[in-house]
Amino acid sequence: MLANYLKTGTKILGLAQLINSGKPGFAGCYRVVPVGTVMAIEFFDAGKRSDQNGMKNIGILPYRPSEIAELSLVHHQEVISGEFTGCIMSLYRKQSVLTAAHVDTNPETSKRMAYENQKNNNIISPIAECDTTGMLSIPKTVILCIATKEEVKSYVVEKGTHSSHKKVPVPGMPGQFQTGQVGETIYTVK
């Protein structure tokens, strides 16, 4: 389980691009790699990765403005979502299907009332939730949440940047790649 690897100081690579993509929930994967004395976790879109060796599967649930973004846990042991700064990560049964949800609570696009109405009208049967409202007190941090089949765990992470050399598409040459320096968001578990 991913939670076993999320200790203070753990670096998380590739996840920001996935959870900020705005796509509906999808299958992802990750691998754990030691980098010196620090543990790093690299995330990938499973549908775009041909080599699955050594990978662990996970559901990726991006934030979607004006929505209660959902992903079934039928094909996933756990689902990760973020960046939380006040939204709700919920785990519930909906028509007997175990479902993870990222509930938008942005004041301009909030689905908090719709979510509460679903709970009050027995449309969903809540199992666990994490309301991240007011949880952040450290600058440059966000919250990541993981839903398993029994619970929702939250992790405060510092958001920074990282540069590395990766294969990138060659502009104007479809299917061609070259090695280039790429900047990406990196999270560090606090």
Question: What are 108-117's contacts with CB under 8 Å, separation 24+?
Answer: 109/65, 109/66, 111/66, 111/67, 111/68, 112/88, 114/68, 115/68, 115/88, 115/90
61/79 Cα distance (integer angstroms): 7
Q: Hey, where are the domains in the chain? A: 2-189
Give the pLDDT confidence of 87-135 residue by residue, as tens digits.
999 999 999 999 999 999 999 999 999 999 999 999 999 999 999 999 9
Q: Is the pLDDT of residue 67 over 70?
A: yes
Give mean pLDDT, residues 143-172.
86
Give mean pLDDT, residues 55-67.
97
19: enclosing H helix or E strand: helix 15-19
87/162 Cα distance (integer angstroms): 26
